[in-house]
Structure formats: C-alpha cells, structure tokens
Structure 1
Amino acid sequence: MSDLDALFEAARAVREKAYAPYSNFLVGAALRTPDGTIFTGCNVENASYPVSVCAEGGAVGALIAAGYRQIAEAVVVGDAALCTPCGMCRQRLKEFGTEHLVVHVADLSGIRRSFTMDELLPAAFELEDKKD
C-alpha cells in the first residue's frame, strides 16, 4: 500500500466516526507529517453550527497535541467528489503545511483531485503580513 493509499484509508475510516446529525454530511481528514506519522480527525457538529469542528481542524489539533508542527500531505474524504476544506481549514493547513503541502480531496471511491496550498488559498494571510 502506498503512502497516499494509507492516508486515504485513514481518512475514509475516521469519516465513519463523524458526528453529523444535522447535515448528515460526514467528513474525515488524515494528515501525514514529514516523518510519515498520520493524524486523523472527523467533523463533529453541534446544534449551534458555529461551534462545530471540521475534520481538518480535529486532525490539526491532534497533530499539535502530539508535539508535531508540520503537515506534508493531507487527504479529505467527504460525501461529495470535491469536498475541499473550508476557508478556516485552508488557513489552518497553510499555517502548518510544509512548502510543498498537497491536499487531496476524495469521495468514498477514491481521490478526485489534488491541490497545492497556493491553489486552495492564493494570497494567504501570513503572520509576517501583520508586522510592519
């Protein structure tokens, strides 16, 4: 099994654990660090939608809690062929992504498209942009 296949399977498996009673839209995310460690997350909805957690956000939280700070590759599996990360998650991925981070989006049957972070988040906010 290739590294990408393992990442896809991890995202697909964690998607099944999602808590989405309001939208019924299950999402799983898997992140691979430069050393090959995989972290996963699934969406967790709340009756007050703004306090819901995206799959990518959960995976980033797990990565950070384990002491890691870099994402080399990501897979997001959802119920739609192009389940791209939302704006907040794009910024999260950018914050911790390596220079060459690729985000693969997939449905249950497999990867549908791959994006660089520049494609997903052109003109991204950088902390240096705030310093004058």
Structure 2
Amino acid sequence: MDYSKLIYKAIKAREEAYAPYSNFKVGASVMTEDGSIYSGCNIENASYGATNCAERTAIFKAVSEGHRKLKAIAIVGSPEEYTYPCGICRQVIVEFSQDNMDIIIAKNKDDYIVKKLDEIMPGAFSKKDLGK
C-alpha cells in the first residue's frame, strides 16, 4: 500500500502542534474504511492531564464525522527516531481499528516502518472482552 499521502498529512499536521511545554511536536493522520483521511496534532495544556495526543486528535476528528473503522494511521514525531503512540493512544486505536490495521511510524516521508496493531498492542483489551 502507498502510504505517502498519509505520511505527508501527518507531517503537515505536526507543523500545527501546540507543544509549548514539551517542545515535542507530533502529527498523525488516519485513513478510514472509505479512504477518507483525517489529521491531527498534539495539543498541550498547562494542566498536563488536559493534553491531547496527535493520534487521538486525528481519530476523534474522524469519529466526530461519523467514521468508526480505521484502516491505517501514520505518526510523525522526531525526525531523528521513530515515535510510537503512547499507551492511551494505542487503546483508542484498538477501539476503532479494522482487521489488525497498519501503524505507520515515520521519521519523514522516505524513512518509515509499518507495524501491525497486534505487534504494538498484543493482548489488547477491546469490545470483544465486553461481549460486544
């Protein structure tokens, strides 16, 4: 699969990050079941608990527009190393994932790795565990 557009959108979203406390900007973009793409950046807050990660921003934008199934997500943080999603973001990805979706972890448009959700979140707690 060609991830160039998804990675590009994540890179552009990173430019909008509001990270005055950590100075660590992250961008993410998700592709929904129908091929729509939604992007988001991390948004920090002086009350650290109110901070939102880029992955959740992108996912929540997609969900707020009626999309419930994600095919892939691209995450771009540091251009020097791969930036994986945090634990809370991994759990949110699980909630809306489709078919062990692809997780694209990019330094830039040419340097990225692709993981399956099961690789970064083995034994995930999901709707299935609630009998749903």
Same fold flag (TM > 0.5): yes
What does residue range 17-36 of structure 1 map to in structure 2 within 5 Å?
Answer: 17-36=16-35
Structure 1 segments unaligned to the other structure (5+ residues):
none
Q: Please, which runs of 5 or more residues in structure 2 have no aligned partner? A: none
2:128 alignment counterpart: 128
> For 1:50 and 1:66, how far apart are their aligned partners in 2?
25
Alignment-derived partner of residue 112 in structure 2 = 112
Rounded to whole Å, the distance in 1 between the matches of 2:55 and 2:30 is: 8
Identity value in percent: 39
SS at match of 1:110: coil
Secondary structure, aligned partner of 2:33: coil
Please give the per-residue CA displacement for 1:19-38, whole angstroms capped at 9, x wherever unaligned: 00011100000000121100
1:90 aligned residue? 90
1:112: Cα distance to partner? 2.5
In structure 1, what is the equivalent of residue 37 of structure 2? 38
Deviations 1:68-89 (A, max 9, x none): 1011011000015220000010
- The offset of 1:107, in angstroms, is 1.5
> Which stretch shifts more, 31-40 or 105-114?
105-114
TM-score (norm 2): 0.91
CA distance in 2, matches of 1:38, 1:114: 18
Q: How far is 1:7 from its partner?
A: 0.4
Question: 1:99: which partner in 2?
Answer: 99
Change in 2 beyond 3 A, CA 1:3/1:114 = closer
Q: How far apart, CA to CA, are the structure 1 residues paired with 2:21 and 2:107?
A: 20
SS of the residue aligned with 1:40? strand
The alpha carbon displacement at 1:3 in A equals: 4.2
Conservation of the 8 A alpha-carbon contact between 2:8 and 2:109: no
**SS of the residue aligned with 1:95?**
helix
1:33 maps to a residue whose letter is: T
* Shift in Å, 1:113: 1.6
Contact kept, 8 Å, 1:81 with 1:112, in 2: the verdict is: no
Alignment deviations for residues 53-74 of structure 1 (CA, whole Å, 9 cap, x no partner): 0001101110011001011011
Bigger shift: residues 72-81 or 105-114: 105-114
Are 1:71 and 1:98, in contact at CA under 8 Å, matched by a contact in 2?
yes
> What RMSD over aligned residues (CA atoms) do the two structures have, in Å?
1.5
Contact 2:14–2:28, Cα closer than 8 Å, also in 1: yes
Say if 1:35 and 1:3 are closer, same or farther in 2 by CA, change over 3 A.
Answer: farther
